[in-house]
A and B are shown apart, each in its own frame.
Chain A
Amino acid sequence: MSAKSRKRGNARFFFIFFTFLLGFLAIIIRLINVQAVEAKRYESLAKKQRLKSIEIAPKRGNIYDCRGNILATNIDATTVYANPYLVRDPENTASQLSSILMLDEKTLLEKLKKDSGFVYIARKVDESTAERVKALKIEGIGFLRESKRCYPYDELAAHTIGFAGVDNEGLTGLEIFYDDVLRGIPGHLIVEKDPMGRSISTGVSNLLPSIDGKNIDLTIDRDLQFKAEVELNRCIEKFEAKAGNVIVMRPNTGEILAIANYPHFNLNEYSKADFACFRNRAITDSFEPGSTIKMVIGAAALEEGIFQPKDVFRLPDEIKIADRIITESHKRPTENFTFTDIITQSSNVGAVVVGQKLKKERICNYLSVFGFGQKTGVDFPGEAQGYIPSPEKWSGSTIGNIPFGQGMSATSLQVLQSFSIIANDGLLVKPYLLSRVVDLNGKIIKQTKPKQGEKILSLKTAEQMKQILEKATIEGTGKNAQVQGYRVAGKTGTSQKPRKDGKGYEKGKYVASFVGFAPVGNPQLAIIVVIDEPKGSIYGGSVAAPVFKNLAEFGLRHLKIPPSEN
């Protein structure tokens, strides 16, 4: 071999050697890059490809009444989903599914043509519908088991309980107010999946369990609630009223036993109801309370020592205040009225005379301490605070309407709370709906204990007012509220509805109400009945008082409260 060819051979050798060397170096650099420098990125990419995180939805807590009756719970429902990549004939599939699921075919087709591996077709459908879809055996259509909120009593206490949405999140009522307690914490299951997306049972599996929501017990009594709704509906039908509400409360503790509202709706079919039906008007809507406010004016005058129950007034049937003439609801000659009569006979002129003596500052002060113009603090979302004009905003005629409940507004709950002060010997209690929070093991996590109320009135004034209000049901405007065997106290209210533009009152539109408690000796039930725009009769005494009577009669018997001694 010549030196030249040897040299060429060497060069070839070195060329191949260095080429291989470079190749290996490139591979080593790439390896270092993949396995060291960018290791984390590739690891996460690999994990993303292999591992699947499945959210485990927690079970929403149940809602019970005060006797352990279930008001809201969960049942299993089937969700239909699709993997558009696997659906072979989207047009035909959309056509088949739309007829069973009652969905728009066009929307369904759009979903089935999406560039995605998962789309919801229908959430939480009933069993029979799901079975019909399953029977079609369409490739690419899958089923998921999900938990659906269920309300066994449909319409019962619908406004108070509220409802939860399709993702089990509270939307209205106590379902939203106690959502953080009821909802629970979702868990996660990380599983290894095969190329077809199926879980590998022996593969990586990491479970972070979900924490189910806690159960809550309410102060609501199912049977009283039912009776309240029945009586309210009957009254609404009889007087062809527009709306109405009833609250039943224990005056000494503030426990709300029932809240009935009309119009009502079915909690299991809330999507079919009108949005306006969802309002718990007893708490979220305010109205001009009318003559029921005379109780506050009377109590203030007695507490201040301005008048005594037997003081006599000579009252005409109308009185001029600034540019307004205040009249009685019925024409009558000028008569003698005792202070008691002014309340029992619900004299507007008398209330104005008492109001004039009290003066605006004291009236505002007493209305405020009785809880008007501020929220009661009840555990319910969207509570209205009502309105009382501050003394500086009073016009010359304001003293001629506030003493009988015009020119101010209050919620039914506020009015009931104020009457509970009289029933509760002058103590103000805060109304509440949640009795306790219980975990899944039955352990009580939180219990609402009625707070010792704030002293608003002296015992003497409270006793005097009890007697006056009792007299109102014996010989006054509230005779229809009498319950056989029990001493009942209460006050009627009939108020005109203010115009929406704030200029005067609507002609022929009234709100009839009655508020009272029983038995007078040891008040165990305080009830308010408010009927919006009754037709035929418009007075609280004839429209609302009978509802009170029927409800109190049932409630006292239901709570095993013995009849009064005399």
Chain B
Amino acid sequence: MQTARKLTHEPNKKQVKNRLRLITNKQKRSISVGIIIVIVAALPATVMLNSVQRTLVTQNAIEIENLREILQEEQAYNQKLMVKVARLKSPERIQEIALGKLGMVAPAKVNYIKVTNENISQDKLAMSKKYFENYKD
């Protein structure tokens, strides 16, 4: 029974063909219009995006260049400071200040104290050992 009812509501082949043709044409048109709209909208958007990107890249490149320059300047300054430190530590300069400005004199005689286990307590020996272990120029 059900099958029979279905069959009675079913359109014939010609009707189906016409309806399909109608839907297809409509869709085609709207798709075309849609594509055109998208293209029209996308083109300036892409161009805009591209120019924004390029601007950003250029800005970043300039910033990197500036940073590189600052880094170079800082490195150069650091190097200059290193040279200045070396000059200030120069034995010639230190001797000049010591003898000329501070009125110091070179020792006429250097006395050495012989430290042996017999004339020093074990505590003091351990202390002096520790001192010399940690001593750095």
A residues neighboring B (CB under 8 Å)? 67, 69-70, 73-76, 145, 150, 152-153, 156, 201-202, 222-223, 226-227, 230, 484-485, 553, 557, 562-563
Report how many residues on chain B are interfacial, defined by Cβ distance under 8 Å.
23
A75 touches B76 (CB 8 A): yes
Other-chain contact of B83, A152, A202, A226 (Cβ < 8 Å): A152
Chain A residues closer than 8 Å to B112, beta-carbon distance: 485, 562-563
Decide if B32 is an interface residue (CB 8 Å cutoff).
Answer: no
Top 5 A-B residue pairs of the complex, sorted by shortest distance between their CB atoms: A152-B86, A76-B76, A201-B61, A226-B91, A563-B112
B79 touches A153 (CB 8 A): no
B87 touches A557 (CB 8 A): no
B90 touches A152 (CB 8 A): yes
Q: A201-B65, A557-B110, A562-B112 are in contact. Are A74 and B86 (CB under 8 A)?
A: no
Q: A202-B58, A562-B112 are in contact. Are A70 and B76 (CB under 8 A)?
A: no
Decide if B80 is an interface residue (CB 8 Å cutoff).
Answer: yes
Q: A67-B137, A201-B62, A226-B92 are in contact. Are A74 and B79 (CB under 8 A)?
A: yes
Decide if B36 is an interface residue (CB 8 Å cutoff).
Answer: no
Considering residues B79, B87, B95, which has the most beta carbons from chain A within 10 angstroms of its beta carbon? B79
Chain A residues closer than 8 Å to B57, beta-carbon distance: 202
Other-chain contact of B79, A73, A201, A202 (Cβ < 8 Å): A73
B61 touches A75 (CB 8 A): no
**Shortest CB distance A258–B (Å):** 12
Other-chain contact of A75, B72, B83, B89, B109 (Cβ < 8 Å): B83
B61 touches A202 (CB 8 A): yes
Distance A436 CA – B82 CA, assembled complex (angstroms):
21
In B46-91, which residues have CB < 8 Å from any A CB? 54, 57-58, 61-62, 65, 72, 76, 79-80, 82-83, 86-87, 89-91
A223 touches B91 (CB 8 A): yes
Chain B residues closer than 8 Å to A563, beta-carbon distance: 112
Minimum CB distance partner of B60 in chain A = A201
B58 touches A201 (CB 8 A): yes
Chain B residues closer than 8 Å to A73, beta-carbon distance: 79, 82-83, 86
B83 touches A150 (CB 8 A): yes
Distance A70 CA – B92 CA, assembled complex (angstroms):
15
- Sample 28 A-B pairs with CB under 8 A, ordered by A number: A70-B82, A70-B83, A70-B86, A73-B79, A73-B82, A73-B83, A75-B76, A76-B76, A76-B79, A76-B80, A145-B72, A152-B83, A152-B87, A152-B90, A153-B86, A156-B90, A156-B92, A201-B58, A201-B62, A201-B65, A202-B54, A202-B57, A202-B58, A202-B61, A227-B91, A485-B110, A553-B110, A562-B112
B61 touches A153 (CB 8 A): no
Q: A69-B86, A70-B86 are in contact. Are A484 and B79 (CB under 8 A)?
A: no
Distance A202 CA – B53 CA, assembled complex (angstroms):
11
A222 touches B91 (CB 8 A): yes
Minimum CB distance partner of A562 in chain B = B112
Chain A residues closer than 8 Å to B110, beta-carbon distance: 484-485, 553, 557
Q: A226-B91, A485-B112 are in contact. Are A75 and B79 (CB under 8 A)?
A: yes
Minimum CB distance partner of A227 in chain B = B91
**Shortest CB distance B109–A (Å):** 7
Considering residues A153, A156, A227, A230, which has the most beta carbons from chain B within 10 angstroms of its beta carbon? A153
Distance A311 CA – B74 CA, assembled complex (angstroms):
73
**Shortest CB distance B90–A (Å):** 6
Distance A563 CA – B112 CA, assembled complex (angstroms):
8
Distance A562 CA – B89 CA, assembled complex (angstroms):
27
Chain A residues closer than 8 Å to B91, beta-carbon distance: 222-223, 226-227
**Shortest CB distance A189–B (Å):** 12
Distance A37 CA – B47 CA, assembled complex (angstroms):
36
Minimum CB distance partner of B83 in chain A = A152
Distance A133 CA – B120 CA, assembled complex (angstroms):
70
Distance A227 CA – B92 CA, assembled complex (angstroms):
9
Chain B residues closer than 8 Å to A562, beta-carbon distance: 112
Minimum CB distance partner of B84 in chain A = A152
Distance A202 CA – B112 CA, assembled complex (angstroms):
72
Chain A residues closer than 8 Å to B83, beta-carbon distance: 70, 73, 75, 150, 152
Chain B residues closer than 8 Å to A230, beta-carbon distance: 95
Distance A321 CA – B89 CA, assembled complex (angstroms):
58
Minimum CB distance partner of A155 in chain B = B92
A75 touches B137 (CB 8 A): no
Chain B residues closer than 8 Å to A75, beta-carbon distance: 76, 79-80, 83
**Shortest CB distance B65–A (Å):** 7
Distance A73 CA – B76 CA, assembled complex (angstroms):
11
**Shortest CB distance B44–A (Å):** 21
Distance A76 CA – B83 CA, assembled complex (angstroms):
12
Chain B residues closer than 8 Å to A202, beta-carbon distance: 54, 57-58, 61
Minimum CB distance partner of A226 in chain B = B91
Chain B residues closer than 8 Å to A150, beta-carbon distance: 83
Minimum CB distance partner of A68 in chain B = B137
